[in-house]
């Protein structure tokens, strides 16, 4: 795997619906070369599949995250599972309210021990009047995560401008995203998580490398991508100059089960 492949993976991890011509242009290759390389990574199982990530807020639910130190794996059904080499696994849960999510975290604690960290992201308000068309858009994306919005508009018999508007609203508010599941054992990229207090300086420092983040009023978890350990070390050192107590974990596997 060379630098070009790694940069393709990074772009797809951040937003797998980014137009291929845009990805190709940002990397400095032709669209044909990008298409070939993506096809090769799919064929070799480096890219396992495309994943639609839907926020529970879209259905009026809430979400919460908890990190556990354990060799075991939770037998329940979380929304998110991020496994780190340091025996820490971060799980995401959804429920009707915060109390419901806490019940699920307690069930996980019965198997894995008490969580070492808990996060409840700030609730994102959502226009319930648009739920029907948003649900139709999401259902079409589940059939083909990289489908053109024009094709989706035809499938659901809706004006293209309205479909674009609703999709962009969901994406802008972190309510919907499409990413890829990568078999990290077949790559030499570095995927790592930083557990730290949340502040704007840290967010800005990690912005260029972050593919997924979980934050509440006080704390944050940033899932980051780098091409090699040298770059990872540089990023980590910058964060630790702002917060010495930040924890860094190397990720070796992850799953998103939403929907």
Nearest to 14 by CA among 6, 102, 246, 62: 6
Alpha helices (H) along the chain: 3-14, 20-27, 31-43, 98-112, 131-143, 149-156, 160-172, 200-206, 229-242
Beta bridge partners of residue 249, listed in sequence order: 193
In this structure, what token pair is assigned to residue 211?
Answer: 């593919």
Half-sphere exposure of 197 (CA within 13 A, CB side): 8
105, 93 in Cβ contact below 8 A? yes
* DSSP summary character for residue 205: H
Query: Looking at residue 258, what is its pLDDT?
Result: 60
| CA distances (Å), origin 12, targets 18, 90, 142, 250 | 7, 22, 16, 20
How many CB atoms within 10 Å of residue 67? 21
Question: Cα(68)–Cα(104) distance, rounded to whole angstroms?
Answer: 13
CA 259 to chain centre: 14
pLDDT-based confidence at 186, cuts 50/70/90?
Answer: very high
Beta bridge partners of residue 215, listed in sequence order: 220
- Round the average pLDDT of the chain to a whole number and report it: 92
Nearest to 214 by CA among 100, 86, 55, 96: 55
Taking only the tens place, the pLDDT of each residue in 93-122 is: 999 999 999 999 999 999 999 999 999 988
pLDDT-based confidence at 182, cuts 50/70/90?
Answer: very high
Weakest mean pLDDT among 51-55, 105-109, 119-123, 187-191: 119-123
235, 57 in Cβ contact below 8 A? no
Beta bridge partners of residue 224, listed in sequence order: 192, 210
Beta bridge partners of residue 52, listed in sequence order: 178
Q: Can you list the domains of the chain with their CATH numbers?
A: 3-48 (1.10.10.10), 56-119 (3.30.70), 128-172 (1.10.10), 182-252 (3.30.70)
Question: Cα(3)–Cα(157) distance, rounded to whole angstroms?
Answer: 42
Query: Looking at residue 131, what is its pLDDT?
Result: 83
In this structure, what token pair is assigned to residue 18?
Answer: 């980014």
Give 155-164 contacts, CB < 8 A, sequence gap 24+.
Answer: 158/133, 162/133, 163/133, 163/137
Query: Looking at residue 259, what is its pLDDT?
Result: 54
Q: What element of type H or E holds 67?
A: strand 62-69
Q: pTM (2 decimals)?
A: 0.90
Question: Cα(206)–Cα(239) distance, rounded to whole angstroms?
Answer: 8
Query: Looking at residue 60, what is its pLDDT?
Result: 85
In this structure, what token pair is assigned to residue 165?
Answer: 């508007």
CA 20 to chain centre: 20
Three-class DSSP category at 60: coil
């Amino acid at each position: 795997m060379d630098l070009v492949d790694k940069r393709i993976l990074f772009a797809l991890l951040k937003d797998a619906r980014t137009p291929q011509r845009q990805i190709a242009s940002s990397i400095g290759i032709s669209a044909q070369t990008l298409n070939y390389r993506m096809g090769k990574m799919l064929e070799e199982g480096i890219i396992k599949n495309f994943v639609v990530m839907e926020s529970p807020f879209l259905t009026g639910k809430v979400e919460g995250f908890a990190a556990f130190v354990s060799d075991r794996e939770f037998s329940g059904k979380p929304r998110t599972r991020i496994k780190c080499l340091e025996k820490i696994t971060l799980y995401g849960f959804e429920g009707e309210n915060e109390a419901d999510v806490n019940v699920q975290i307690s069930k996980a604690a019965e198997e894995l021990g008490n969580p070492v960290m808990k996060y409840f992201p700030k609730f994102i308000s959502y226009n319930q009047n648009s739920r029907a068309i948003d649900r139709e858009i999401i259902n079409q994306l589940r059939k083909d995560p990289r489908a053109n919005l024009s094709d989706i508009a035809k499938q659901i018999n809706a004006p293209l401008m309205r479909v674009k508007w609703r999709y962009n609203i969901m994406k802008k508010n972190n309510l919907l995203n499409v990413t890829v599941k990568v078999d990290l054992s077949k790559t030499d990229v570095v995927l790592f998580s930083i557990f730290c207090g949340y502040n704007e300086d840290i967010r800005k420092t990690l912005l260029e490398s972050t593919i997924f983040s979980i934050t509440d009023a006080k704390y944050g978890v940033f899932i980051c991508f780098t091409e090699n350990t040298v770059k990872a070390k540089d990023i980590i050192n910058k964060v630790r100059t702002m917060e010495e107590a930040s924890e860094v974990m190397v990720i070796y596997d992850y799953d998103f089960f939403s929907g």
